Amino acid sequence: THICLTKGCSEDEVSKELLKLNDDPRVHGVFLHLPSTSLTSRVLNALKPEKDVDGITDLNMGRLVRGDLSNSFVPPIASAVLDLLEKHGESLLKEIGPKFSISLSVAYFLCFISDIEISRAQTPKPVTQLAEEIGLLPEELEAYGRNKAKVRLSLLDRLHSQPDGKYVLVAGITPTPLGEGKSTVTIGLVQAMSAHLKHNSFACLRQPSQGPTFGVKGGAAGGGYAQVIPMEEFNLHLTGDIHAITAANNLVAAAIDARMLHEATQSDKALFNRLVPSVNGVRSFSPIQISRLRRLGIFKTDPAALSMQEISTFVRLDLDPSKITWQRVVDTNDRFLRKITVGQASTEKGQIRETGFDIAVASEIMAILALADSLEDMKNRLARMVVGTSRSGQPVTAEDLGVSGALAVLMKDAIKPTLMQTLEGSPVFVHAGPFANIAHGNSSVLADKLALKLVGRDGFVVTEAGFGADIGMEKFFNIKCRASGLRPNVVVLVATVRALKMHGGGPNVSAGAPLPREYIDENLSLVAGGCRSNLKKQIQIAHLFGVPVVVALNVFKTDTQAEIDLVCQIAKECGASDAVPCHHWAQGGRGSVELAKAVDEAANRPSNFQFLYNTEMPIVEKIRTIARKVYGADDVELSPEAKSKIDYYNQQGYGSLPICMAKTHLSLSHMPEKKGAPTGFVLPIRDVRASVGAGFIYPLVGTMSTMPGLPTRPCFYDIDLDPVTEEITGLF
Amino acid sequence: THICLTKGCSEDEVSKELLKLNDDPRVHGVFLHLPSTSLTSRVLNALKPEKDVDGITDLNMGRLVRGDLSNSFVPPIASAVLDLLEKHGESLLKEIGPKFSISLSVAYFLCFISDIEISRAQTPKPVTQLAEEIGLLPEELEAYGRNKAKVRLSLLDRLHSQPDGKYVLVAGITPTPLGEGKSTVTIGLVQAMSAHLKHNSFACLRQPSQGPTFGVKGGAAGGGYAQVIPMEEFNLHLTGDIHAITAANNLVAAAIDARMLHEATQSDKALFNRLVPSVNGVRSFSPIQISRLRRLGIFKTDPAALSMQEISTFVRLDLDPSKITWQRVVDTNDRFLRKITVGQASTEKGQIRETGFDIAVASEIMAILALADSLEDMKNRLARMVVGTSRSGQPVTAEDLGVSGALAVLMKDAIKPTLMQTLEGSPVFVHAGPFANIAHGNSSVLADKLALKLVGRDGFVVTEAGFGADIGMEKFFNIKCRASGLRPNVVVLVATVRALKMHGGGPNVSAGAPLPREYIDENLSLVAGGCRSNLKKQIQIAHLFGVPVVVALNVFKTDTQAEIDLVCQIAKECGASDAVPCHHWAQGGRGSVELAKAVDEAANRPSNFQFLYNTEMPIVEKIRTIARKVYGADDVELSPEAKSKIDYYNQQGYGSLPICMAKTHLSLSHMPEKKGAPTGFVLPIRDVRASVGAGFIYPLVGTMSTMPGLPTRPCFYDIDLDPVTEEITGLF
């Protein structure tokens, strides 16, 4: 990640420099700006196509400036170059004067830049301009600074009669621990659709947790020339939705413990006098209390009319401290909060208990945000959230705590999706980011709905599902589409040669360790093995739902043409409508034109969407259906705890909720080390839990960590802010 | 808090209704809109002046519409009336048609409204319009929705040569637990200055913690006709500054515990290999690591050059778990987090320890935000924060943890003050809200500086200090003004008859309990006692700093004219430049015109500002000076712990920091029950702590709670959101 300027270099020097850069993994792309006399064929041939940012090697000079890449969304690339020059090329600037007006015949330099530099070098257009370009009315926009804005839900009313666009889901094969680039494929596809095929097009992405940004993972804005910009705003506070979720989640937690303390230290009468106080001689129930009374079967509205028994039932939630399922959350990788004891101050009168914090995006409130389809729906789901069980075995809800109205107030702005743009100026909604294991791992229903109306009948909305298709896509169909009523037209299945080789029997891939040789050298048999196992199975899973599949091979520089061709060939043999290589990372939208064309074609084929199961099936049957048809298991095996939980949920009326499997994403099975398409296994269900407000049952297949930690040297060591330019370094 | 419409009422009925309303404490003001023929003198005389919102009883009809109250800031009051009608007056609306054009001769109704209804009934002008009115350039504004915006610090450069306006501090006498209305006085004064005296004028307020909004206290946006609007945005997320502080604070906490774990489980060599990893065969220190090396006296920059001893010194912070002073924070009243045990999951290898959470505004980062005068200054302060002590007794800083660059990144937007408006459209900066006990309790230096430039030489900036003048004002002068270099022109000292009676010997006043008779009936001797003790002493404290004092008597409806006159008379006898009654709560700016005139006059008197102590004095002497001169103590008495801490701070070079006393605000002494102006006591200093990044030493006089709790029936029981209108109810 460095920038290097060469001036007056010889043909030899430039070519040698380029050959070195081709193999440097830190160099994401090269701007090659040289006087036309220096652009000899030797120089042009030296630069690998995937590092050629502006396509200078296969096209005539000056095309960027002359607008080949341009569309209404592309901001002037010149400003990027100018910025870089200002920062790194002082000596050069002096030669050509302070008012540098970029043209390829004047500037001659090479520059090699990192993700954050690519992002920073591009000045986003004002979000108000983007909003106008996509047909939003000024009153539908709430700007948050210059680069992002919330969009009001009233848009849905205005465009009520407008037909929806095509709905494209980006899912992936079972990934390596390094990830295979679903986000970059999503962004690249939308950039290609917008700028190159001239289709109205929208990306819908999840908001990433802030915690991992400072831990190991880094940001989630995409990468290379397929990014959401400004990437620091995308990765950090954004418009405060996760902060709102944290506040709402922790208000529930505080209410739970405080209520237990007050119940433990007060008589029924004292509790009643405080909960229903006499104001100027008049006692009355608040509306939220009347809701609780109704659920208790008490239909009186005059506090004076309650019997002592009714008062006791009303005032005591009688939460069983050992059965509180609600955890606190924080949007920080704070491993020491995984298991804690609270209430140890003397003011809490010895009411200590063990509990823990999850990362904020694991909150049920995040899952609700992602599934709600209106403010009212969100409010109702918040009220239904079950926080624990009373000593008599009854579920206790947020509404019982009296807190659900306040939660809706805290979340009233979070429900509006946030509009941003890609590096090439295409529109993006960033909204909600529920965990992909204990929740459903998809961005919000509302963002998709707004986007589908905005793009209109001939447009495309590309949305991304977390993890592999066995998890993210299955939940997208069975949970998200069920909640939204939306029907997908195409699945884009992202694969990499790296992951395919792993599934074909390649050695272990792990973060931090160098990649084994098999992943760097051509190995057609490993590739074929991966295609005929995992890729084939994931295509079949999509077909279970009746949706056509386009395989997008996210090309790395180490992939050979033979490997690429083989993947595309086998993918089509396995039933994919099409299979194409993508170069979005190095080339932006231009690198995804082929994919965009394939998706466009597939979207026009008839699709015959169907759910995998009917929600009225018994819980066990729903779990078994997913395990067999999606994962390839022979059967499921439930622990006694799982069985008794299922009985309890049936008895409480939660039996017809859909299923959200909490399974590793590193294998189709429950065993992360089993790659390819495992068969002959029985899926063990350790426990079953419910997110009643979000509206799903989640069986636990193994243990899911809901709080990441910080390593010895977290990312934050490299993150800094220049106090003068306000530029951020070290985010990636 | 109800609205009542009467149509076609007789003179008798209207008068009777008004007389009832006069005595209803829930009715904050009455809009009296009747056909002119109904405005008989009997009707006009029935309404008490303080409930007369639009001054109809002492002026001719229609003045509101004709613009008496209007200035460029006042939005049409008609829209408020129309909104109320739409909501509550359907039957009436039918009579006069759906396109209701408000004019006093058409509409006839009475309405009685609460704080939230007053706020909601007023449509704020777009913040972009407000920005234009006060001379901000479009590029200096970052809107957050329609009603609030962050203002860029580049403004300070642009207006560098512009002279500052007059700087007015609003402080108070020692309050009752109910509070005496400093915020409403601040807002009322600015409304009067803006709209009535036509001076450029700005209010600078603290951002309230979100926690208490859902607990007992309610919001902090002012009240009645002296509010910041929209009050729900003021009281809830605002522009995310407190959320950013929470994220930054908790990243430090996570870094501390994770680092202790990694140091406990790794050799020096393993730690070094991880902290300074080899990337493509090259090892290098990050800039933040080089800073740490320098502080350790190691001036090498090549990792290979370090000796084993230097490596060990560098990689081991060697934090003493029993001497970690950094707490986690959450912006929720969560009493069960006051004292907790963390690290109990097996993944943390038994590294458990006791710690706790504070409310977010108690974070040192909040104090830093309030005192920083540039991005660079904030970044340096963040780096200097001491989080604990090593086993060898050395302070360990945020920079040692490698996290301070990331903190600056998290706080980069929080440093920009948020622009909002009062009910009458005057500009308000809301920025920072540090605790008034363990921190200095004042809004930000930067907001004051920006505002002073914006109002210009003849304008006024009114800023508020927390608690009574003995705490908030003393810290404003000795800490905030020292950090900012700004010099105040006038102190407005807020008093109430209620608090004065308490200081004069009246019975106990407590929240929740009915007020004793003494506070409702006239009692001149109690009033006089309070004036000659507490009020006099607080005036003298301001004079210690050489600043003129105007006493603002915040008038309640139970105050008699004789009581009001007595306060004003004695205040002037005690040295106040002036003393005037204020009616801003019921009348907005119009009710504070007299105060505005008095402040205007006092600001033109010569002031001779001086600090109370020189920071180079020994720590004990600084504490003693405050205790004697400000609190009236005979002396101070230090615990052995306090003494040894002072020795330690001196040894570490913190001896010349200013002092931030952590003392009860309910008495000038350390004994909350001692009202008036206690003498003959010795102030006990239990312990001494330091906020090295914020830049002050804070001696603890007694125990300070840094985490409020939720009562049996928190405010949230009444808080709700209408999913259709998006209106919030129950906030106050």
* Tens digits of residue pLDDT in A625-655: 999 999 999 999 999 999 999 999 999 999 9
- What number of residues does chain A have? 732
CB B241 within 8 A of CB B151: no
Shortest CA distance from A237: residue in chain B? B244
Percent of chain B with pLDDT over 70: 85
Catalytic (active site) residue B109: no
Provide, as residue numbers in chain B, all residues whose Cβ is less than 8 Å from the Cβ of A723. 374-376, 379, 408
Class of residue B722 by CB neighbours under 10 A (exposed 0-12, middle 13-18, buried 19+): middle
Amino acid type, B229: I
- pLDDT score at B10: 65
Instruction: Measure the CA dihedral A273/A274/A279/A281, to 10°.
Output: 10
Size of interface A-B (CB pairs under 8 A): 278
Amino acid type, A457: R
Average confidence (pLDDT) over A441-464: 96
Percent of chain A with pLDDT over 90: 75
Q: Is the pLDDT of residue A579 over 90?
A: yes
Q: Does A408 touch chain B (CB under 8 A)?
A: yes
Average confidence (pLDDT) over A431-437: 92
pTM, 2 dp: 0.87
Nearest partner of A611 among A544, A548, A566, judged by Cα: A544
Q: Do A340 and B336 touch (CB under 8 A)?
A: no
Q: Is the pLDDT of residue A82 over 70?
A: no
**Distance separating alpha carbons of residues A652 and A644, to the nearest angstrom:** 12
Active-site positions of A read 182, 184, 206, 217, 436, 467, 556, 585
**Distance separating alpha carbons of residues A641 and A684, to the nearest angstrom:** 12
- The C-alpha of A619 sits at a distance from chain B's nearest C-alpha, in angstroms, of 31
For A63-67, A464-468, B330-334, which range has the lowest pLDDT when averaged over its residues? A63-67
- pLDDT score at A28: 56
Distant-in-sequence contacts of A352-358, Cβ < 8 A, 24+ apart: A353/A257, A353/A321, A353/A324, A354/B344, A355/A324, A355/A327, A355/A328, A356/A327, A356/A328, A356/A707, A356/B345, A357/A327, A357/A328, A357/A329, A357/A330, A357/A707, A358/A327, A358/A328, A358/A329, A358/A706, A358/A707
Shortest CA distance from A378: residue in chain B? B723
Confidence of residue A288 (pLDDT cuts 50, 70, 90): very high
**Distance separating alpha carbons of residues A422 and A462, to the nearest angstrom:** 13
- pLDDT score at A118: 75
CB A719 within 8 A of CB B287: no
Question: Which residue among A338, A714, A723 sits closest to B375, beta carbon to beta carbon?
Answer: A723
Which run of H or E residues covers position A18?
helix A11-22
User: pLDDT, tens digit, for every residue of B261-287?
Assistant: 999 999 999 999 999 998 888 999 999
Shortest CA distance from B144: residue in chain A? A144
User: pLDDT, tens digit, for every residue of A332-385?
Assistant: 999 999 999 999 999 999 999 999 999 999 999 999 999 999 999 999 999 999
- pLDDT score at A34: 56
Q: What would the DSSP string read from start to end of B652-669?
A: HT-TTS-B--B--SSSSS
CB B206 within 8 A of CB B228: no
Angle between helices A182-191 and A593-603 (to 10 degrees): 80
Question: Which residue among A336, A356, A728 sits closest to B409, beta carbon to beta carbon?
Answer: A728
For A114-118, A273-277, B550-554, which range has the lowest pLDDT when averaged over its residues? A114-118
- pLDDT score at A514: 84
Percent of chain A with pLDDT over 70: 85
Q: Do B413 and A237 touch (CB under 8 A)?
A: yes
**Distance separating alpha carbons of residues B464 and A454, to the nearest angstrom:** 47
User: Helix H segments across A348-428?
Assistant: 364-371, 375-384, 404-410
- pLDDT score at B218: 65
Q: Is the pLDDT of residue B512 over 70?
A: yes
User: pLDDT, tens digit, for every residue of A202-248?
Assistant: 999 999 999 988 987 667 788 888 999 999 899 999 999 999 999 99
Provide, as residue numbers in chain A, all residues whose Cβ is less than 8 Å from the Cβ of B156. none
**Distance separating alpha carbons of residues B353 and B328, to the nearest angstrom:** 13
Provide, as residue numbers in chain B, all residues whose Cβ is less than 8 Å from the Cβ of A254. 332-336, 710
User: Helix H segments across A266-388?
Assistant: 268-275, 287-295, 308-315, 364-371, 375-384
CB B303 within 8 A of CB B274: no
Q: Does B156 touch chain A (CB under 8 A)?
A: no
Q: Do A336 and B343 touch (CB under 8 A)?
A: yes
Whole-Å CA distances, B618 to B470, B523, B623, B695:
21, 46, 9, 16
User: pLDDT, tens digit, for every residue of B620-638?
Assistant: 999 999 999 999 999 999 9
Which 511-550 residues of chain A touch chain B by CB within 8 A? Answer: none
Class of residue B480 by CB neighbours under 10 A (exposed 0-12, middle 13-18, buried 19+): buried
Residue the block writes with tokens 């039918």: B94
- pLDDT score at B97: 22
Instruction: Measure the CA dihedral B76/B82/B87/B92, to 10°.
Output: 160
Q: Do A286 and B717 touch (CB under 8 A)?
A: yes
Angle between helices A268-275 and A308-315 (to 10 degrees): 70
Other CB atoms within 10 A of residue B28 CB: 21
Average pLDDT value over all residues in chain B? 87
User: pLDDT, tens digit, for every residue of A18-68?
Assistant: 777 666 655 555 656 555 555 667 776 776 666 655 555 443 332 222 222
Q: Do B288 and A374 touch (CB under 8 A)?
A: no
CB neighbours of B281 closer than 8 A, spacing ≥ 6? none
CB B253 within 8 A of CB B370: no
Amino acid type, A197: L
Provide, as residue numbers in chain B, all residues whose Cβ is less than 8 Å from the Cβ of A412. 721, 726, 728
Which run of H or E residues covers position B273?
helix B268-275
Q: What would the DSSP string read from start to end of A510-547?
A: -TTSPPPGGGTS--HHHHHHHIIIIIHHHHHHHHHTT-
Q: Is the pLDDT of residue B496 over 90?
A: yes
Q: Is the pLDDT of residue A487 over 80?
A: yes
According to DSSP, the residues that pair with A667 across neighbouring strands are: none
Average confidence (pLDDT) over B693-721: 93
Class of residue A70 by CB neighbours under 10 A (exposed 0-12, middle 13-18, buried 19+): middle
Amino acid type, B105: S
Best A246, A716, A722 residue to mutate vs chain B (most B CBs within 10 Å)? A716
CB neighbours of A695 closer than 8 A, spacing ≥ 6? A371, A381, A479, A483, A657, A658
- pLDDT score at A111: 38
Confidence of residue B38 (pLDDT cuts 50, 70, 90): low
Catalytic (active site) residue B467: yes
- The C-alpha of B551 sits at a distance from chain A's nearest C-alpha, in angstroms, of 34
- pLDDT score at A85: 44
Q: Do B713 and A332 touch (CB under 8 A)?
A: no
3-state DSSP call for residue B33? strand
Nearest partner of B588 among B95, B71, B144, judged by Cα: B71
Q: Do A345 and B339 touch (CB under 8 A)?
A: yes
Nearest partner of B464 among B124, B175, B141, judged by Cα: B175
> Rounded to the nearest 5°, which phi and psi values hold at A328?
-80, 165
Catalytic (active site) residue B182: yes
Q: Is the pLDDT of residue A79 over 70?
A: no
Q: Does B157 touch chain A (CB under 8 A)?
A: no
CB neighbours of A245 closer than 8 A, spacing ≥ 6? A329, A360, A361, A363, A365, A366, A369, A411, A414
**Distance separating alpha carbons of residues A569 and A126, to the nearest angstrom:** 43
Question: Which residue among B144, B334, B375 sits closest to A144, beta carbon to beta carbon?
Answer: B144
Amino acid type, A487: R
Q: Do B275 and A379 touch (CB under 8 A)?
A: no
- pLDDT score at B630: 98
Q: Does B342 touch chain A (CB under 8 A)?
A: yes
**Distance separating alpha carbons of residues B182 and B188, to the nearest angstrom:** 10
Provide, as residue numbers in chain B, all residues whose Cβ is less than 8 Å from the Cβ of A251. 214, 332, 716
Cα B361 → chain centroid: 10
Strand B490-495 relative to strand B460-464: parallel, antiparallel, unpaired?
unpaired
CB A710 within 8 A of CB B258: yes
3-state DSSP call for residue B728? strand
Average confidence (pLDDT) over A484-509: 97
Average confidence (pLDDT) over A102-115: 32
3-state DSSP call for residue A358? strand
Q: Is the pLDDT of residue A72 over 60?
A: no
CB A550 within 8 A of CB A598: yes
Question: Which residue among B247, B338, B714 sits closest to A347, beta carbon to beta carbon?
Answer: B338
Q: Is the pLDDT of residue A130 over 90?
A: yes
- pLDDT score at B107: 20
Residue the block writes with tokens 């959350």: A329
- pLDDT score at A115: 72
ipTM of the complex: 0.86
Residue the block writes with tokens 């009153």: A139
Confidence of residue A281 (pLDDT cuts 50, 70, 90): confident
**Distance separating alpha carbons of residues A303 and B69, to the nearest angstrom:** 45
User: pLDDT, tens digit, for every residue of B592-616?
Assistant: 999 999 999 999 988 889 999 999 9
Q: Do B240 and A237 touch (CB under 8 A)?
A: yes
Confidence of residue B484 (pLDDT cuts 50, 70, 90): very high
- pLDDT score at A38: 59
